[in-house]
Protein backbone atom coordinates (compact mmCIF):
# COMPACT_ATOMS: atom_id res chain seq x y z
CA UNK A 1 0.00 0.00 0.00
CA UNK A 2 3.00 2.30 0.48
CA UNK A 3 3.93 4.86 -2.11
CA UNK A 4 7.51 4.54 -0.89
CA UNK A 5 10.01 1.73 -0.32
CA UNK A 6 9.21 1.99 3.39
CA UNK A 7 5.92 3.44 4.63
CA UNK A 8 5.91 7.00 5.93
CA UNK A 9 3.70 6.95 9.01
CA UNK A 10 2.26 9.91 10.90
CA UNK A 11 1.79 9.15 14.61
CA UNK A 12 -0.49 11.10 16.98
CA UNK A 13 -0.25 10.80 20.78
CA UNK A 14 -2.69 12.53 23.16
CA UNK A 15 -3.08 10.11 26.06
CA UNK A 16 -2.26 12.63 28.78
CA UNK A 17 -0.91 16.19 28.77
CA UNK A 18 1.39 16.23 25.75
CA UNK A 19 0.30 16.59 22.14
CA UNK A 20 2.87 14.50 20.29
CA UNK A 21 3.18 14.14 16.54
CA UNK A 22 5.89 11.96 15.04
CA UNK A 23 6.76 10.91 11.53
CA UNK A 24 8.82 7.85 10.64
CA UNK A 25 9.92 6.10 7.48
CA UNK A 26 10.13 2.48 8.56
CA UNK A 27 12.40 2.64 11.60
CA UNK A 28 13.93 5.98 10.61
CA UNK A 29 12.77 8.95 12.67
CA UNK A 30 11.93 11.96 10.51
CA UNK A 31 10.22 14.24 13.04
CA UNK A 32 9.14 14.23 16.68
CA UNK A 33 7.23 17.37 17.64
CA UNK A 34 5.64 17.90 21.05
CA UNK A 35 3.37 20.60 22.45
CA UNK A 36 3.10 20.23 26.23
CA UNK A 37 0.41 21.66 28.50
CA UNK A 38 2.48 20.80 31.60
CA UNK A 39 2.78 24.42 32.73
CA UNK A 40 -1.01 24.72 32.78
CA UNK A 41 -1.26 21.75 35.16
CA UNK A 42 1.65 22.59 37.46
CA UNK A 43 -0.34 24.95 39.68
CA UNK A 44 -2.80 22.13 40.38
CA UNK A 45 -0.03 19.66 41.31
CA UNK A 46 -1.23 17.16 38.71
CA UNK A 47 -2.84 16.76 35.31
CA UNK A 48 -6.39 18.14 34.98
CA UNK A 49 -8.19 16.10 32.28
CA UNK A 50 -10.39 18.91 30.95
CA UNK A 51 -7.43 21.29 30.68
CA UNK A 52 -5.43 18.61 28.85
CA UNK A 53 -8.25 17.94 26.38
CA UNK A 54 -8.67 21.60 25.49
CA UNK A 55 -4.91 22.01 25.09
CA UNK A 56 -4.79 19.05 22.68
CA UNK A 57 -7.57 20.55 20.62
CA UNK A 58 -5.73 23.85 20.29
CA UNK A 59 -2.33 22.29 19.63
CA UNK A 60 -3.24 19.50 17.20
CA UNK A 61 -3.13 21.22 13.79
CA UNK A 62 -0.06 23.39 14.57
CA UNK A 63 1.83 20.37 15.92
CA UNK A 64 1.07 18.29 12.82
CA UNK A 65 2.19 21.19 10.64
CA UNK A 66 5.36 21.54 12.70
CA UNK A 67 6.20 17.85 12.35
CA UNK A 68 5.69 17.95 8.59
CA UNK A 69 7.92 21.00 8.32
CA UNK A 70 10.62 19.35 10.45
CA UNK A 71 10.51 16.26 8.21
CA UNK A 72 10.47 18.29 4.99
CA UNK A 73 7.25 16.58 3.92
CA UNK A 74 3.72 17.41 2.83
CA UNK A 75 0.57 15.72 4.06
CA UNK A 76 0.28 14.03 0.68
CA UNK A 77 3.52 12.15 1.43
CA UNK A 78 1.94 10.27 4.36
CA UNK A 79 1.21 6.57 3.74
CA UNK A 80 -0.59 5.75 7.00
CA UNK A 81 -1.80 7.40 10.19
CA UNK A 82 -1.37 5.83 13.65
CA UNK A 83 -2.93 7.14 16.84
CA UNK A 84 -3.00 6.23 20.51
CA UNK A 85 -6.45 4.70 21.07
CA UNK A 86 -5.73 3.91 24.75
CA UNK A 87 -5.06 3.65 27.57
CA UNK A 88 -5.10 7.23 28.85
CA UNK A 89 -7.43 10.08 29.76
CA UNK A 90 -10.71 9.59 27.90
CA UNK A 91 -11.20 13.18 26.77
CA UNK A 92 -7.58 13.58 25.73
CA UNK A 93 -7.66 10.35 23.75
CA UNK A 94 -10.83 11.44 21.96
CA UNK A 95 -9.10 14.52 20.55
CA UNK A 96 -6.26 12.49 19.08
CA UNK A 97 -8.48 9.72 17.72
CA UNK A 98 -10.85 12.21 16.08
CA UNK A 99 -7.94 14.08 14.48
CA UNK A 100 -6.34 10.87 13.23
CA UNK A 101 -9.61 9.73 11.66
CA UNK A 102 -9.93 13.07 9.89
CA UNK A 103 -6.38 12.97 8.53
CA UNK A 104 -6.67 9.34 7.42
CA UNK A 105 -10.03 9.91 5.74
CA UNK A 106 -8.91 13.12 4.07
CA UNK A 107 -5.70 11.56 2.76
CA UNK A 108 -7.28 8.25 1.81
CA UNK A 109 -4.71 6.26 3.79
CA UNK A 110 -5.01 3.45 6.37
CA UNK A 111 -5.65 4.24 10.02
CA UNK A 112 -4.12 2.27 12.92
CA UNK A 113 -5.40 2.71 16.47
CA UNK A 114 -2.59 1.52 18.73
CA UNK A 115 -1.88 0.77 22.36
CA UNK A 116 0.04 3.49 24.19
CA UNK A 117 2.08 0.97 26.22
CA UNK A 118 3.06 -1.15 23.22
CA UNK A 119 4.18 2.07 21.52
CA UNK A 120 6.59 2.71 24.40
CA UNK A 121 8.16 -0.64 23.50
CA UNK A 122 8.23 -0.04 19.74
CA UNK A 123 9.92 3.37 19.95
CA UNK A 124 13.27 1.89 20.97
CA UNK A 125 13.63 0.54 17.43
CA UNK A 126 14.09 4.10 16.16
CA UNK A 127 17.33 4.25 18.12
CA UNK A 128 18.61 0.69 18.50
CA UNK A 129 17.10 -1.21 15.56
CA UNK A 130 14.66 -4.15 15.47
CA UNK A 131 13.64 -5.64 18.81
CA UNK A 132 15.04 -9.08 19.64
CA UNK A 133 12.30 -11.69 19.74
CA UNK A 134 11.36 -12.26 22.48
CA UNK A 135 12.20 -9.36 24.79
CA UNK A 136 11.20 -8.43 28.32
CA UNK A 137 9.89 -4.85 28.62
CA UNK A 138 9.70 -2.84 31.83
CA UNK A 139 7.37 0.12 31.32
CA UNK A 140 7.38 2.76 34.04
CA UNK A 141 5.47 6.04 33.85
CA UNK A 142 3.06 8.27 35.71
CA UNK A 143 0.17 5.92 35.08
CA UNK A 144 1.76 2.53 34.55
CA UNK A 145 4.34 0.18 35.99
CA UNK A 146 4.27 -3.01 33.93
CA UNK A 147 6.42 -6.00 33.07
CA UNK A 148 5.77 -7.50 29.65
CA UNK A 149 6.94 -10.46 27.62
CA UNK A 150 7.14 -9.28 24.01
CA UNK A 151 7.42 -12.09 21.42
CA UNK A 152 6.42 -9.65 18.65
CA UNK A 153 5.50 -6.03 19.40
CA UNK A 154 3.18 -5.84 16.37
CA UNK A 155 1.19 -8.95 17.26
CA UNK A 156 1.87 -10.44 20.67
CA UNK A 157 2.43 -8.67 24.00
CA UNK A 158 1.92 -10.62 27.23
CA UNK A 159 1.44 -9.04 30.66
CA UNK A 160 3.64 -10.56 33.37
CA UNK A 161 3.01 -8.09 36.17
CA UNK A 162 1.79 -4.60 36.95
CA UNK A 163 1.30 -2.19 39.81
CA UNK A 164 -1.41 -3.05 42.32
CA UNK A 165 -1.75 0.60 43.44
CA UNK A 166 0.34 3.68 42.63
CA UNK A 167 2.50 3.60 39.52
CA UNK A 168 6.16 4.53 39.96
CA UNK A 169 5.77 7.92 38.29
CA UNK A 170 2.73 8.70 40.41
CA UNK A 171 4.76 7.94 43.55
CA UNK A 172 7.51 10.30 42.33
CA UNK A 173 4.94 13.09 41.91
CA UNK A 174 3.42 12.54 45.36
CA UNK A 175 6.76 12.32 47.15
CA UNK A 176 7.97 15.45 45.36
CA UNK A 177 4.94 17.30 46.74
CA UNK A 178 5.79 16.10 50.26
CA UNK A 179 9.34 17.40 49.81
CA UNK A 180 8.20 20.74 48.41
CA UNK A 181 9.53 20.00 44.94
CA UNK A 182 7.72 21.12 41.77
CA UNK A 183 5.44 19.05 39.53
CA UNK A 184 6.19 16.82 37.67
CA UNK A 185 8.19 15.20 40.44
CA UNK A 186 10.39 12.76 38.53
CA UNK A 187 13.01 15.14 37.13
CA UNK A 188 13.17 17.18 40.34
CA UNK A 189 13.66 14.14 42.58
CA UNK A 190 16.30 12.79 40.20
CA UNK A 191 18.13 16.12 40.37
CA UNK A 192 17.86 16.47 44.16
CA UNK A 193 18.95 12.85 44.69
CA UNK A 194 22.31 13.50 43.06
CA UNK A 195 23.26 15.56 46.12
CA UNK A 196 22.01 12.95 48.61
CA UNK A 197 22.66 9.40 49.76
CA UNK A 198 20.49 6.50 48.67
CA UNK A 199 21.26 4.71 51.94
CA UNK A 200 20.52 7.62 54.29
CA UNK A 201 17.01 6.38 55.08
CA UNK A 202 15.81 2.78 54.80
CA UNK A 203 12.40 2.93 53.13
CA UNK A 204 10.23 -0.17 52.51
CA UNK A 205 10.33 -2.10 49.23
CA UNK A 206 6.76 -3.21 48.49
CA UNK A 207 6.33 -6.73 47.05
CA UNK A 208 10.12 -6.93 46.92
CA UNK A 209 10.39 -10.69 47.27
CA UNK A 210 6.83 -12.02 47.13
CA UNK A 211 7.35 -14.32 44.15
CA UNK A 212 5.18 -12.23 41.82
CA UNK A 213 6.19 -9.79 39.10
CA UNK A 214 3.77 -7.14 40.40
CA UNK A 215 4.66 -3.77 41.94
CA UNK A 216 3.37 -1.68 44.84
CA UNK A 217 4.51 1.88 45.60
CA UNK A 218 1.66 3.23 47.74
CA UNK A 219 3.21 2.01 51.01
CA UNK A 220 6.56 3.52 50.08
CA UNK A 221 4.95 6.86 49.32
CA UNK A 222 3.17 6.79 52.69
CA UNK A 223 6.36 5.81 54.52
CA UNK A 224 8.18 8.83 53.06
CA UNK A 225 5.33 11.15 54.06
CA UNK A 226 5.27 9.79 57.63
CA UNK A 227 9.06 10.09 57.95
CA UNK A 228 8.99 13.70 56.79
CA UNK A 229 6.06 14.52 59.09
CA UNK A 230 7.92 13.05 62.08
CA UNK A 231 11.00 15.18 61.37
CA UNK A 232 8.92 18.32 60.99
CA UNK A 233 6.94 17.57 64.16
CA UNK A 234 10.23 17.25 66.04
CA UNK A 235 11.34 20.63 64.71
CA UNK A 236 14.15 19.08 62.70
CA UNK A 237 15.23 20.03 59.20
CA UNK A 238 14.19 17.59 56.49
CA UNK A 239 17.25 16.52 54.45
CA UNK A 240 15.53 16.76 51.07
CA UNK A 241 18.42 15.40 49.03
CA UNK A 242 18.84 12.34 51.25
CA UNK A 243 15.12 11.60 51.35
CA UNK A 244 14.87 11.99 47.58
CA UNK A 245 17.85 9.70 47.02
CA UNK A 246 16.63 7.07 49.48
CA UNK A 247 13.10 7.08 48.03
CA UNK A 248 14.46 6.88 44.50
CA UNK A 249 16.75 3.99 45.46
CA UNK A 250 13.80 2.05 46.89
CA UNK A 251 11.83 2.48 43.66
CA UNK A 252 14.60 1.54 41.24
CA UNK A 253 15.75 -1.34 43.45
CA UNK A 254 12.34 -2.99 43.13
CA UNK A 255 11.91 -2.16 39.44
CA UNK A 256 15.25 -3.60 38.39
CA UNK A 257 15.00 -6.62 40.70
CA UNK A 258 11.62 -7.62 39.27
CA UNK A 259 12.76 -6.99 35.69
CA UNK A 260 15.78 -9.27 36.07
CA UNK A 261 13.58 -11.88 37.77
CA UNK A 262 11.34 -11.81 34.69
CA UNK A 263 14.33 -12.26 32.38
CA UNK A 264 15.52 -15.26 34.40
CA UNK A 265 12.07 -16.81 34.75
CA UNK A 266 11.37 -16.68 31.01
CA UNK A 267 14.98 -17.24 29.89
CA UNK A 268 15.10 -13.96 27.95
CA UNK A 269 18.41 -12.16 27.46
CA UNK A 270 17.14 -8.78 26.25
CA UNK A 271 15.53 -6.18 28.53
CA UNK A 272 13.93 -2.96 27.30
CA UNK A 273 12.98 -0.14 29.68
CA UNK A 274 10.50 2.46 28.47
CA UNK A 275 8.10 5.12 29.72
CA UNK A 276 8.74 8.48 31.33
CA UNK A 277 10.46 7.12 34.44
CA UNK A 278 12.99 5.40 32.15
CA UNK A 279 14.58 8.84 31.85
CA UNK A 280 15.61 8.59 35.53
CA UNK A 281 19.41 8.51 35.75
CA UNK A 282 19.60 6.15 38.74
CA UNK A 283 17.20 3.65 37.15
CA UNK A 284 19.30 3.58 34.00
CA UNK A 285 22.54 3.15 35.95
CA UNK A 286 21.31 0.41 38.29
CA UNK A 287 19.60 -1.45 35.44
CA UNK A 288 22.84 -1.43 33.45
CA UNK A 289 24.82 -2.65 36.46
CA UNK A 290 22.43 -5.51 37.19
CA UNK A 291 22.01 -6.48 33.54
CA UNK A 292 25.78 -6.66 33.09
CA UNK A 293 26.04 -8.93 36.13
CA UNK A 294 23.26 -11.19 34.82
CA UNK A 295 24.43 -11.33 31.20
CA UNK A 296 21.32 -9.51 29.98
CA UNK A 297 21.45 -6.97 27.16
CA UNK A 298 19.81 -3.67 28.14
CA UNK A 299 18.06 -1.29 25.75
CA UNK A 300 16.81 2.11 26.93
CA UNK A 301 15.80 4.86 24.48
CA UNK A 302 17.26 8.32 24.93
CA UNK A 303 15.23 10.40 27.42
CA UNK A 304 13.38 12.34 24.72
CA UNK A 305 11.88 9.10 23.42
CA UNK A 306 10.96 7.78 26.89
CA UNK A 307 8.32 10.37 27.70
CA UNK A 308 5.04 10.39 25.74
CA UNK A 309 5.63 11.33 22.10
CA UNK A 310 4.24 10.87 18.62
CA UNK A 311 7.33 9.07 17.34
CA UNK A 312 6.54 6.01 19.44
CA UNK A 313 3.03 5.83 17.97
CA UNK A 314 4.37 6.21 14.44
CA UNK A 315 6.99 3.51 15.12
CA UNK A 316 4.36 1.01 16.21
CA UNK A 317 2.20 2.00 13.26
CA UNK A 318 5.11 1.27 10.92
CA UNK A 319 5.53 -2.16 12.56
CA UNK A 320 1.85 -2.92 12.00
CA UNK A 321 2.08 -1.89 8.34
CA UNK A 322 5.21 -4.00 7.82
CA UNK A 323 3.61 -7.01 9.53
CA UNK A 324 0.56 -6.81 7.27
CA UNK A 325 -1.82 -6.19 10.15
CA UNK A 326 -5.26 -5.13 8.95
CA UNK A 327 -5.93 -1.39 9.46
CA UNK A 328 -8.49 -0.08 11.94
CA UNK A 329 -11.88 1.17 10.85
CA UNK A 330 -13.10 4.72 11.21
CA UNK A 331 -15.36 3.47 14.01
CA UNK A 332 -12.51 2.77 16.46
CA UNK A 333 -13.22 4.07 19.96
CA UNK A 334 -10.96 5.84 22.42
CA UNK A 335 -10.54 3.26 25.18
CA UNK A 336 -9.17 4.72 28.41
CA UNK A 337 -8.63 1.23 29.87
CA UNK A 338 -7.33 -0.56 26.78
CA UNK A 339 -5.47 -3.68 28.02
CA UNK A 340 -1.82 -4.09 27.08
CA UNK A 341 -2.57 -7.39 25.36
CA UNK A 342 -4.49 -5.48 22.69
CA UNK A 343 -1.78 -3.96 20.48
CA UNK A 344 -4.10 -2.41 17.91
CA UNK A 345 -7.86 -1.87 17.70
Would the annotation count 142 as a binding residue?
yes
Would the annotation count 15 as a binding residue?
no
> What is the distance between the alpha carbons of residues 92 and 85, in angstroms, rounded to a whole number?
10
92 CB neighbour count, 10 Å cutoff: 30
Laid out side by side, the sheet with 135-140 consists of: 156-162, 145-152, 135-140, 270-274, 297-299
Would the annotation count 4 as a binding residue?
no
Would the annotation count 86 as a binding residue?
no
Would the annotation count 32 as a binding residue?
no
Would the annotation count 113 as a binding residue?
no
Would the annotation count 270 as a binding residue?
no
Would the annotation count 190 as a binding residue?
yes
Would the annotation count 309 as a binding residue?
no
Would the annotation count 144 as a binding residue?
no
Give pairs for 220-224: CB < 8 Å, separation 24+. Answer: 220/171, 220/247, 220/250, 220/251, 221/166, 221/171, 221/174, 221/175, 224/175, 224/178
Laid out side by side, the sheet with 18-25 consists of: 28-36, 18-25, 8-13, 80-86, 111-115
Would the annotation count 116 as a binding residue?
yes
Would the annotation count 17 as a binding residue?
no
* Annotation: binding site for substrate: 139-143, 173, 186, 190, 280
* Annotation: binding site: 116, 120, 139-143, 173, 186, 190, 280, 308
* Annotation: binding site for Fe cation: 116, 120, 308
Amino acid sequence: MSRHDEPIVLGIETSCDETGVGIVRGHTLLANTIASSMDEHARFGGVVPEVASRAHLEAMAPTVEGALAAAGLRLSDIDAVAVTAGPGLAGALLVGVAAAKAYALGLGVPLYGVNHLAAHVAVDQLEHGPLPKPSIALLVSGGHSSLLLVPDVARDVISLGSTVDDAAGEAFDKVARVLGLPFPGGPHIDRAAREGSGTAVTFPRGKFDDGTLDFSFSGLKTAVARWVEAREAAGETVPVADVAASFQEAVVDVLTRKALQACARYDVKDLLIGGGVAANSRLRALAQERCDAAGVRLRVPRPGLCTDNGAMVAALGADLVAAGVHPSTLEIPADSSLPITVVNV
